[in-house]
Chains A and B, each alone.
Chain A
Amino acid sequence: MSLPHYPPLAEGEDPSNFPGYRSTQYRFPKRPLFHLPQGIGEITGPLLGEDRVGPNDHDLTVHGHGEPIGERIIVHGRLLDSGGRPLAGQLVEMWQANACGRYDHKVDQHPAPLDPNFTGVGRTLTDSEGRYKFITIKPGAYPWGNHPNAWRMQHLHFSLTGRALPQRLVTQMYFPGDPLCFQDPIFNAVPDPRVRNRMISTFDLDATVPDWALAYKWDIVLRGPDATQIETAEEHG
């Protein structure tokens, strides 16, 4: 029985403790992680599909009775594995603050207005080439209690399940040129700037729709299976 194998991330790419982000303090395991051999239950995972996505779920600007306030943007890109293979038919879940930096959530007491026309939740499926696209409102920066005068960078939350448990990814997308990045410990919890900056989208003039919306492009890359094993599987048909 030859199964695909998903190699772990490189050492230091994914620390579980980051003192600058205070909430990690009591929420990271202190014991080293135990080894789990990848069997059938690990190289598979939920294939969440079309029954989770309605026709307008990718367009967060049409979920209310009117248009939400804020700067309309397009966010698009491809979902790939680390071997460059597109992941088709995959559920992409996204949530975010409104243009004022306020979440539609009881815990968020930031004194900024809620927008009755914006709930901040989007879903879509990737197409046959792994492409996804959301139409939304650029989220505002917002203050939080991590340290004095702490502000979160403008960001979108993304959730992907991939096709196997090692591909499960919850992450955040950031915008280019955000002046807050120097003091955002969640962003900076990824130690290597060349890895961290994979989370920053790029401005995309080609996909910008004239007289309507700016576009940002962001490819999401999930851990891929070992290339050698895939080649072997293909050779043996």
Chain B
Amino acid sequence: MSENPYEAPIGPYSEPVEEPTPGPTPSQTVGPYYSIGLTRDWPEGANAVEPYHSDAIEISGQMFDGRGEPIPDGVIEIWQADPNGRFNHPDDPRGAAVYEGFTGFARSGTDDEGRWAVRTLKPGRIPTADGTGEQAPHINVTVMARGTLRQLTTRIYFPEEAEANATDPVLQSLPEDARSTLIAERVDDRTYRFDVVLQGDGETAFFEL
């Protein structure tokens, strides 16, 4: 029995060419060799802040597949507000704000044990999407890997922010077992751990974006 339709050729060698319709270019996997283009020449890309910044924190973790195996060919990207809850971006209606030594963006590949790590500053609170309140401090995370056809979106929240987390509308919209996957583990004042599970037991909550 074969589950794989590609084990036998599935079509004629020359498919009739169908003209593409206008619209967004579809996503494809980053594949196993993404480091050539995304991380190899850019080791400092894993820093959203100058690494010796006095307030720098490190967030690290492992990425796992649906069998609990570490993923050695995954990529994590983070995007977040600065400690004042501002972004250096012209589409922020409050105006773009520069925070010295900080970009808000970092990218880390995973190693043979599926480990990734980024250095950043703890974000401040930002307005909710409807503008009526504040969100708990959080980091937006994009996850990609060989075998993911499109990027996955998740968030990292902070365990010491229990009060803010309790009123965060995104966090509170999730069922408890999904919510708990988004809270990092605090190792010490400057170090957090956050594992990403793409499938199965303990599957990380992912968002439609």
A residues contacting B by CB (< 8 A) are 1-4, 6, 8-10, 13-31, 33-48, 52, 82, 93-95, 97, 103-105, 107-108, 119-122, 146-148, 150, 157, 159, 163-166, 168-172, 179, 181-183, 185-187, 189-190, 193-200, 220-223
Contact = CB atoms under 8 A, between A and B. Distances in A.
A221 B131 contact: no
Q: Kindly name the residue among B11, B33, B200 whose own CB sees the greatest number of chain A CB atoms within 10 A.
A: B33
B27 A194 contact: no
Contact of B140 (A25, A165, A193): A165
Contacts of B93: 1-3, 40
Given A35-B207, A41-B81, A194 B6 contact: no
B34 A200 contact: no
Contacts of A193: 15, 18
B91 A164 contact: yes
B26 A40 contact: no
B29 A169 contact: no
Contacts of B149: 14-18, 21, 24, 28, 186, 189
Contacts of B18: 193-194, 197
B209 A38 contact: yes
B27 A34 contact: no
Contacts of B6: 20, 146-147, 150, 183, 185
Contacts, number: 277
Given A44-B87, A182-B13, A147 B7 contact: yes
Contacts of B130: 37
B71 interface: yes
Contacts of B54: none
A177 B138 CA distance: 46
B87 A121 contact: no
Top 10 closest A-B pairs, CB basis? A95-B37, A23-B147, A46-B105, A39-B129, A37-B129, A26-B66, A36-B207, A27-B147, A44-B89, A1-B131
Majority secondary structure of chain A interface residues (helix, strand, loop or mixed): loop
A223 B22 CA distance: 12
Given A38-B209, A48-B105, A103-B33, A82 B129 contact: no
Contacts of B14: 179
Nearest to A167: B24
B24 A19 contact: no
A33 B26 contact: no
A144 to B, nearest CB: 9
A103 to B, nearest CB: 4
A34 B178 contact: yes
Contacts of A195: 20-21, 23, 26
A23 B97 CA distance: 41
Contact of B150 (A14, A105, A165): A14
Nearest to B72: A107
B174 interface: yes
B165 to A, nearest CB: 16
24 contacts: A18-B149, A22-B4, A25-B66, A26-B69, A28-B199, A29-B152, A38-B209, A39-B126, A44-B92, A45-B79, A52-B42, A105-B32, A107-B33, A121-B41, A157-B33, A157-B37, A163-B91, A170-B28, A185-B6, A193-B15, A196-B20, A197-B18, A197-B19, A220-B25
